Amino acid sequence: MNPIPQEKQQALVDRLMQASGGSYSPEVRRRYFITGPQWAVAYEGQALFHAPTRSPITFEKVIEEYSRIGVGYWCTHDTDVIPANDLFTPKQDEAVARIKSSLSKHGMKCSMVTTETFHHPVWAAGSAAEAGDVREYANRRLENTVSIGHQLEAQYCVYWPGTLGYSTQGAIDEMQTLRWYADGINAACQADIALAGKYKRHTLKHCLEAKPFEPQAEILLPTSDAMLSLIFSGLIKHPDMVGLNPEYLHELMWGGAPRASLARALLCGKLFHFDINDGYRLKHDVDIAVGLVNPLDWLNVLVLLRSHDYNGPFNLDYKPPRTTSNYGVFAVSLPSAVDRFITLWEMAGEVQSDPIIKEATDALKAGGAGANLADVNSIVEANKELLSLHELIGNRLFQILIGANRGRTYSL
């Protein structure tokens, strides 16, 4: 193939996207509670070892593009859209007014707001630092975000503690730091109760998000289970208002099974919100888009969530790769992520109604006949042949993933 002239490259990308097929209309996409973060599509590709590869984009453009593609909900960190120096000033109100008008112009809703407590130098020692003024400032920021949430009619508020931890051992008192961290969540809930009264709205759902490593060497609340222990520790004054925002990759990063983490959250009634993406075990937070690394696991995650009636948001917390251009973010990255999610969700429905999986599962639950409880070997024998069904179910899930259940075949 000859080199492709620059002015023909976008057309090539568009033609191959078209040829790939499998895309849904914006109307179909809008039927799902898929939420689009400001920071995901505005990410410029920078990292510790990386200079940006994309140019900045405004929230107006982000909201417009989400709407065009069919993502009905937008969410943001406070400082994604309001520079830290403008917070608490009339410039904040101006920004909130501009966001409101942008959302309404494009028929979009704000689903969630979150406070950036990890990037600015003020958080060098975390939001629950020893210095009282840092903690007071953190509380003001959280309260302010809750207020912005009410003004934008959001339902959820998310907290990723970022730097809550340490790099040098013994530098902080873990117990005290966790108490201070809980004070911040309490301040946000307290402010929420007052603001909900003022705005005549429901209080928000406050969702804690754990991540096992990065950006701190040792993290005090590294997993969703750790977050559950904080919620039920007695330190949280309004535990009913507080739940989880697990992130698929964050649970995978520590070597856990995201499906099991989600199940534990569901058991506790705390699965409020879910960050969807993909990546690898025991590596850093690569934030690859949903289904590109572990589609089979993702299928099973969605079977779990469909089977147990999860009805909260699916938040596209991923990062378009550095190799994707500004144009590619909206032409390839975002629509393909949404469409893979929808396809996997629909496939999960197929799994639920698949007659083979259903019969195999029912047979496993029925168990084998003829066991004598006084004879352990007879229990083994009674169930022995049935247990091959576990692997058969695994194979059937693979077949559903590749469409073999719908007649797709391969031959030499």
Q: Which residues bind ligand 3MF (CB under 6 A)?
A: 39, 114, 158, 160, 209, 211, 247, 275, 285, 317
d(CA 397, CA 347): 10
Q: How far is the CB of 214 from ligand 3MF (least distance, A)?
A: 7
Per-residue x/- mask for Mg ion, residues 315 to 344, rule CB under 5 A? --x---------------------------
The DSSP-derived string for 93-158 is HHHHHHHHHHHHHTT-EEEEEE---SSSGGGTT-TT-SSHHHHHHHHHHHHHHHHHHHHTT-SEEE
The DSSP-derived string for 275-333 is E--B--TTS----BPTTSS-HHHHHHHHHHHHHTT--S-EE------TTS-HHHIIIII
d(CA 145, CA 139): 10
Q: How far is the CB of 288 from ligand 3MF (least distance, A)?
A: 12
Residue number, 24 or 73, with CB nearest to Mg ion: 73
Q: How far is the CB of 5 from ligand 3MF (least distance, A)?
A: 37
Q: Say whether residue 278 binds Mg ion (CB under 5 A).
A: no
Residue number, 113 or 342, with CB nearest to ligand 3MF: 113
Select the binding partner of residue 78 from Mg ion, ligand 3MF, none (C-beta < 5 to 8 A, by kind). Answer: none
d(CA 115, CA 154): 14
Q: How many residues bind Mg ion (CB under 5 A)?
A: 4
115, 145 contact by CB (below 8 A): yes
Residue number, 4 or 217, with CB nearest to ligand 3MF: 217
Q: Which of 78, 285, 339, 354 binds Mg ion (CB under 5 A)?
A: 285
- Region of 409 (left: φ > 0; alpha: ψ -120 to 50; beta: rest) is beta
341, 290 contact by CB (below 8 A): yes
Q: How far is the CB of 204 from Mg ion (least distance, A)?
A: 17
Residue number, 281 or 306, with CB nearest to ligand 3MF: 281
Select the binding partner of residue 114 from ligand 3MF, Mg ion, none (C-beta < 5 to 8 A, by kind). Answer: ligand 3MF
Q: Which residues sit at the interface with Mg ion, rule CB under 5 A?
A: 247, 275, 285, 317
